[in-house]
Structure 1
Amino acid sequence: MTVLTRFAPSPSGRLHLGNARIAILAWLFAKSHGGDMLLRFDDTDRTRSDPSFEAAIREDLRWLGLDWRAEYRQSERSPLYLVHFEELLARGRIYPCYETEEELAALRARALARGEPPRYRRLEGEGGTPAGAAASREPYFRFRLEPQPAVFRDLVFGERTIAVESLSDPVVRRADGSFTYIFASVVDDVDLGITHVVRGEDHLTNTAVQIQIFAALDAKPPAFAHLPLLCDVSGRPLSKRLNDLSLVALRDQGFLAPALFAYLARLGTGIAPAPDDRPESLVRSFDIAAFGRAPARLDIDDLRRFNGRMLRTLSFHEVAAQLAALGLSRVDEEFWQLVRPNVDTLAEVGMWWQIVHGPITPVVTDRELLERAAALLPERLSSPAEARAFLDQLAAATGRRGRALFRPLRLALTGREHGPELALLLPRLGRDRALARLRGETA
């Protein structure tokens, strides 16, 4: 059997870390078994889908280093869905409904008042529409669920049993003639030969429903792997702050694609990502069973630190293109070597470029020390050796050592408490700018 997975985003927004993780894991699963992944845009909901997001999603996936064997849009496959829809309609597994949203809300309210789950089943729907209304309305259609539970082996959670008794018969075709994801996805998986579906645990209810649709189509369902959802360090769902965690936002902050890939590939396994992790090595070690069953906690600060660890292993040649994309084309190899030990993202390189080339307003915390430093600053300050000689002379003249010496100097020269070694930084600042800042001037 050739393994074939799929990543099926809805083109209603940019990729965020949650669905990027699913794409990475679906890709890794396929590649680790010698297979491939398909990209399918689930764009049947015309009110939410935006074609412009398709290009953005492709860009994000390629930036991560993912590829796919073929690409599909559900909106272009309606004739295929119609064939299977009419088959199940003729067999009585799909049936028409005529309720308006208001009438459905009334049905739900009555069920809740009786202490029952607000589900829709065919018998409940009968009589819910005023007499004669059906004749003047376009129907929508639902799939009739059988009362037996869905039982399957999850590649992450093991044997699972999901009750469907409390679920509504799912809508499979809207009144405007478009098909819903729940139905179109099954038809696609059968037609395209999908062998494994890797997705979030929030799809468990969909899986229970879709297993019955597969059976109604006389098709074998794929194997399912449901990943626990991501949450933040406090246990709150990431969906509350997806805009901050979109791939484009992180890319603009100077995160590295290999760092995001490795971090997301390891998240939830208990195995820490390593700076030398790359897609090809992660393929060789990938095991879907290594993922835990508890929600995976994403710590953005931990991700930032790991990004910094990977950055510090990279040469200027390896980051030059992304620096240029961030508007930092003036950064040269010497400057990269200067700031690399002190940055966690490439955007911080831009911060240090501004600090070095100014203007900035110095932070003055010890005027007496700064006045002595300004008086002792040599006429030549073009090499680290000259800068070290100056710092040694200042230490001898003031009796200051360590933090007592370097903290006031660093705050005055850079406005920051931490950063590159001052002996390396001073020649890049230049004597005139260093002198002005030691005097408390904006420069």
Structure 2
Amino acid sequence: MSRFSAIWVSAAFFLPVTMVSAEKPADKEIVVTGASLADTERTLKNCLAGNCSPDADVRAAIAHAENQFVAGEYRDAKTTLKKAIGRNGKYRNQFPVELSYLYRASSRIAEHLGETDEYRLRLLDMRDTLRSNFPADDARVLSAQLEIADSRVKLGYPDNALDIYADVEKAAIAAGQNQIATLAKLRANLLIYAIGENERYQPDMKRARAALAEMVKRPLPGSDDFSLIAEVALARIDRREGRGDSTDAIMRRVLSRGVDRPILLSADPIDVPKSAYGERTNSGQSLLLNVGPRRIEGESMPAPQNVLTQIPRNFEDRWMDVGFWVTADGRVDDVEVLRTEGSGDWMKIVINSIQSRQYAPIRNKDGATHPGFYMIERYTYTARYMEDITGSRIPRRSTQARIERLDLTPENFDQPFANRPKTNRQTAS
């Protein structure tokens, strides 16, 4: 289960190479260390100068792009990956997994830049690269299909996403990939509930509730751990409907058996104001997903009548890194903005949401009290480029702001400090 979200299980952003690690220095300050931007740039240049193999090239390019992204150099990161794709795209049949990482990384950066088409196309490249080199029921192909479905939700095509989830669930069950089947069913029913909630359609909400309850009661063989995710989802639904008993029961059960990573139980939404179009993206109005109005492929959005509403705000270079502790009792403590770029008028709504989070209480499996986890998350204030924003084919920024999130927590977050230090700075070597 990804630490990015306890419910919406997301694929890794970059190639799984440890970039940073958390250490406990003598002064008890948090110091994030890793290869510097200059180091990864040098490594990539040396690789290319020495005619390194395509897989080595891809690894070096992704590592450097990741560092550029963390440094806030989004467009430089995009360029690094675009050049790597140009050099290595022809090797997709020899190194399909490595190329899939490259396409996935490119899609994630495009997402934070608001480049909708690039985000969509790179995910399709990732999926197609895997699908053309592995059997249709391979776990990597099925997982890639889940990512495609997730992207369809984000882009406003939930019906298409539901079809994909259903196909993945069916294929995964036939292949004995029960965990992937469970994830597909879980996401589908969370989406069904969210749609029902948005449209105030009780039959959908009841159907999703019943399916989640069945997953808790009778999980597929080998997917017992995922039943907890469904149970957390049901608890969120209960709280949404004014009942808190199920959340208390989950907290008692998790506390008694012990967990080794944060499991998010609840959080207030990040409530982005409406745009001139009347949209409300990333508002959290739905239970678990940001489900906007259904769209039809190729459908144009009518341009607003007032030309002033067509002028987007500045969405370039606006991001922040937030660090915080998840304590042993599951509460959030010491929330701190570590780094920022650009105007920060949007940051307060993010901080409020983080401070409201309740995680499952954390215990070591031997019953000892756990010291907690230190988490770092990147938030980007952006807006999508859209061709139909002014009634023309010229891509322009939407006036609707979005806040994209990415987990930057060190890979060894599940090896916490013996004594929880007070955080007062972050440095990068």
TM-score by length of 1: 0.20
Question: Higher helix fraction: Structure 1 or Structure 2?
Answer: 1
Q: Relative contact order: is structure 1 or structure 2 higher (C-alpha 8 Å, sep ≥ 6)?
A: 2
Query: Which has more radius of gyration?
Result: 1
TM-score by length of 2: 0.20
